[in-house]
Chain A
């Protein structure tokens, strides 16, 4: 699979992973990213909650364990992975703070992508419509959404501080499917900037 076929946030994460690294992809879906990383000689493992997706991974020859980020990370020993990946999943976990702590414990680096609830279209939709916003990436009724812990990029930066993590790299996910580097300070200072204009973010973290 070529990088072009990867989802933009996954492509950005893939670029953060060094060749030959040992990687755990938490919520690896059908294994597209792990498969892509194989070409970089990455020794990949996955955790995935959906059985159909696990089957797809097994058929691709990937080592994937059916499980849940909220409960199964506990069983992984500390610092065994060069990088742990969590793509578009943190907002769907029951305890994002606990999950973050586990990710930072298990991996020397944590690559994470998430939707930005501070994106201007979402803000505008709530302001003008007075209803829970629905977007292309967050397309669920409020009562049926798996995304129970949505946050803005600024909120996420606060959480990284809470977890004593350092942001090594940060990229904004733009509406047109491109990514652009951003400074973490630009998220928490001022009203304009990626916290308003980015649809999502991709971060590379390490424990301080």
Chain B
């Protein structure tokens, strides 16, 4: 009789839709007290890993993004979400660096999430999916990085929720990252952040087609609720000034007010469009779980509220980027992280970029951001010798 191996070998399966997917049989212990097994992580890589395995950069994606960071998204057909930033010769240069981006735990692009089948019941997880945290997402990413044979990442980079993951990497695995670049994020979700997420979640759960989270069994989709959630969230991603400049009070395809509730204003049509395109590519329960993970994020919590203590003796280099018009993760929240790092003598730089594009600036063409990322990574790579 042979003993079962303590760690079962993960199985890698290439798939056209989600890039590469690797399934881990070893259970993943979660912050909520439950474990997840087996679980799959779907990911994309760009560039090639050098012989010393020292040029790997992990990019962490934001709430509604996925692993298609620099290549066409198979669902939408649109270019990857960070194509201005990632590619040959770009600031995150795939000619030099091996770039990894994985769909987060709880997501809906190949990594295990609430839409997947629960092996215990043979039915979709739905609300039986365990509650996950940013730390759990990072734990799953760590398994992937180990699977790829990488001991130490050159850098972990991400914007918004991706920035939270980058910070969590530094906190959970300080010896496994040389450079950390959190962009437009915070060390904790604020009351206002949680409030907006709760509006979104309530919109989804109020949709009769949500069916208590079991819409897959009823062959329905809570598209209306999810669209409203996206509409509300989208407002928080742009600045008041940019909205005013782009739309003002302009009317949509009409000369006068209709005195009806059909969209009169361009901003209304714009939001409807944002909602409608979102529901085609995102799972409502994933949205519930991932927003919850963000709400639960408070990096200082496990250190008695002292953010500085999270980074004590951390030898990684940090570069934090904030945007002047970002009111979702304002400069002051980003700077708090820099101050905490400074207080424990960590190597930290902080850059505030002037822009009217709001929170979404990190996804857009911001030359100063590109210059910062390029300069920071060039130097981090130079340190390797």
Contacts and interface: CB of A to CB of B under 8 A. Distances in A.
A interacts with B: yes
Interface of A: 22, 43, 45, 51, 54-67, 75-77, 80
Nearest to B346: A63
A55 B339 contact: no
B376 to A, nearest CB: 5
Given A51-B353, A55-B371, A61-B379, 11 more contacts: A54-B349, A54-B351, A54-B372, A58-B372, A59-B378, A63-B348, A63-B349, A65-B335, A65-B349, A67-B335, A75-B342
A63 B343 contact: no
A77 B340 CA distance: 10
Contact of B349 (A43, A64, A75, A76): A64
Given A45-B342, A60-B379, A61-B383, A66 B347 contact: no
B interface, by DSSP: helix, strand, loop or mixed?
Answer: helix
A64 B352 CA distance: 12
Chain B interface bracket (under 10, 10 to 19, 20 to 34, 35 or more): 20 to 34
Contacts of B212: none
Interface of B: 317, 319, 335, 338-339, 342-343, 345, 347-354, 368, 371-372, 374-376, 378-380, 382-383
A67 B378 CA distance: 23
A66 B375 CA distance: 15
B382 A61 contact: yes
A11 B342 CA distance: 26
A51 B379 contact: no
Contacts of A66: 350-352
A136 to B, nearest CB: 30
A65 B371 contact: no
Contacts of A67: 335, 350
A77 B351 contact: no
Contacts of A62: 349
A77 B343 CA distance: 6
Contacts of A43: 345
Given A51-B354, A65-B349, A58 B342 contact: no
A36 B141 CA distance: 39
Contact of B319 (A22, A56, A58): A58
26 contacts: A43-B345, A51-B351, A51-B353, A54-B350, A54-B372, A55-B351, A55-B368, A57-B349, A58-B349, A58-B372, A58-B375, A60-B379, A61-B317, A63-B348, A63-B349, A65-B335, A65-B342, A65-B348, A65-B350, A66-B350, A66-B352, A75-B339, A75-B342, A77-B343, A80-B343, A80-B345
A65 B338 CA distance: 8
B366 to A, nearest CB: 11
B341 to A, nearest CB: 9
A117 to B, nearest CB: 32
Nearest to A80: B345
Contact of B351 (A45, A58, A80): A58
Contacts of B335: 65, 67
A56 B343 CA distance: 23
A59 B317 CA distance: 13
Contacts of B350: 54, 64-67
